[in-house]
Structure 1
Amino acid sequence: MSTASSEHHSGGLVLLGGASGSGKSYLAHTYGRPHLLLDSFYREIAEDHQVDPEGDPERALPRTAYGEIDWDHPLTWNARAAVDAIIELTETGRIRVPDYSITTSSVTGYVDLELAGGPIVAEGIFAAELPRILTRLGVDFQAWYIDQHRLTTAARRLARDLAERRKPVPFLIRRGWSLLRKEREIRDHYLDAGFTPVPKRELHRRLAAR
């Protein structure tokens, strides 16, 4: 991977990947300087069923097999905005990111982030969409996938989502079961994108050393 030239980017960029509930946010919040929450770049529910001047649907949000908006589909996420934020942060040392509410699926405000010596630890369920783009743009990064037993991840995901009231309970149960069944597929997707699987204990060690 090529090297970024920005003088601000002394601590490097780490992409953390993993299934929802694997502990990405905890690791990024603990070791990131700053923690860049990629879920901040979700599309808003207000975009669903938007129409163009001719009245045709324009990029309606994708649906699950059970008819709900599929918030685990990358088309519910604005990859371009996420990449622009990473580039701006590495070049200027600061950015303003949306404060996105998963409960309401909308932007409720904005949050200012600044580099504090690095590393930038960027995490989110769509992190696998970034290595190809960042490599093409010449941004240096490490990409690590949290390797954890799928049942541990599923239990932590459900406990978190219920505690935070992220979505209605029936939706959370259906989503959790679907993600549990697809976890191997999710893992393979990250590895195909260039992520290296690393156990969580080892990730603590690597991130603390940066």
Structure 2
Amino acid sequence: MPTPGRARVIVLAGPSGAGKSRLAARLGLPVLRLDDFYRNGSDPVLPLITEGANAGLIDWDDPAAWDHEDALAAVEKLCATGSAEVPIYDIARNGRCGSQSIDLQGAAYFLAEGIFAQEIVRECDERGLLAGAYCVTQHRAVTFWRRLVRDLRERRKPPLVLVRRGLVLMREQPEVVARAVALGCREVGPDQAHDEIRALLR
């Protein structure tokens, strides 16, 4: 159980479209959306795609496109104080568009979910903040389709870019999962993750 007065984080990593946000909604815990810590599109340190049809575009699937330190600081503050001010990111506009306050309202656990969530697992564990870390996965075809439907609905990028990106991500999904596992996550399906986390909360 968490130390009295101190919350702990449950990390939900996994490929984009694998069902992390749906799982978080089912669990009903406070959620820190780690994808809101993307860097602004004007940031000069953003990595670029170097080959393929999307060469020259920003590589939003590279962890370097994400502000690791800001995300980790938000997790630490939520664990220590129960509240934090965090950014709101607009993917369609490639930038932060405001901020919001997250208040755990006394909850002993909260979720941190996003495609780069695995990048903070080791540090959270070393600092005594981690309650569990899961890499949520589904069949590559299911992930591809759900991601494409969501991204088209939200008009995140031009359709052709989304299709090309989605095909690349479908091929690379095993590597994404393997990296998350190497960084301390357990590979699970959404239903298994749900059941295990609900058991943790009892």
TM-score (ref. length: structure 2)? 0.90
CA RMSD of aligned residues (A): 1.6
Deviations 1:18-75 (CA, angstroms, capped at 9, x unpaired): 1000011121233253111001110001213xxxxxxxxxx2x111122210000000
Which residue number in structure 2 is paired with residue 143 of structure 1?
Answer: 133
Partner of residue 183, structure 1 = 173
How do 1:98-109 and structure 2 match up within 5 A? 98-109=87-98
1:43 aligns with 2:39: yes
Instruction: Check whether the contact 2:72–2:120 (CA below 8 A) recurs between aligned residues.
Output: yes
2:60 is matched with which residue?
71
Q: Residue 92 of structure 2 aligns to which amino acid in structure 1?
A: T
Give the secondary-structure state (helix, strand or coil) at the position aligned to 2:92.
coil
Counterpart in 2 of 1:96? Answer: 85
2:18 matched to 1:22?
yes
> Which of these residues, 91, 112, 116, is aligned with residue 126 of structure 1?
116
Partner secondary structure for residue 122 of structure 2: helix
Paired residue secondary structure (1:103): helix
* 1:76-91 equivalent positions in 2, closer than 5 A: 76-91=65-80
Cα distance in 1 for partners of 2:36, 2:26 equals 18
CA deviation after TM superposition for structure 1 residue 140, in Å: 2.7
Once the two structures are TM-superposed, the CA of residue 4 in structure 1 deviates from its matched residue by 6.6
Corresponding residue for residue 142 of structure 2: 152
Give the counterpart letter for 1:62 in structure 2.
P
- Please name the residue that 2:99 is paired with: 110
Which residue pairs with 1:208 in the alignment? 198
Q: Give the SS at the match of 2:24.
A: helix
Q: Take 2:130 and 2:182, find their aligned partners in 1: how far apart are those partners?
A: 18
Amino-acid identity (%):
37
Q: Secondary structure at the match of 1:107?
A: strand
- Provide the rounded CA distance (Å) in 2 between the counterparts of 1:102 and 1:43: 10
Give the secondary structure class of the aligned counterpart of 1:109.
strand
CA–CA distance in structure 2, aligned partners of residues 146 and 127 of structure 1 = 11
Following the alignment from structure 1 to structure 2, what is the Cα–Cα distance between the partners of residues 92 and 101? 27
Match of 1:33 in 2: 29
Q: Which amino acid aligns with 2:77?
A: E
Which amino acid in structure 1 is aligned with residue 48 of structure 2? R
SS in 2 for 1:165: coil
Q: Is the 8 A contact 2:15 2:137 kept in 1?
A: no
For 2:175 and 2:108, the matched residues in 1 are separated by 32
Structure 1 window deviating more from structure 2 (158-167 vs 115-124): it is 115-124
Segments of 5+ residues of structure 1 without an aligned counterpart are: 49-58
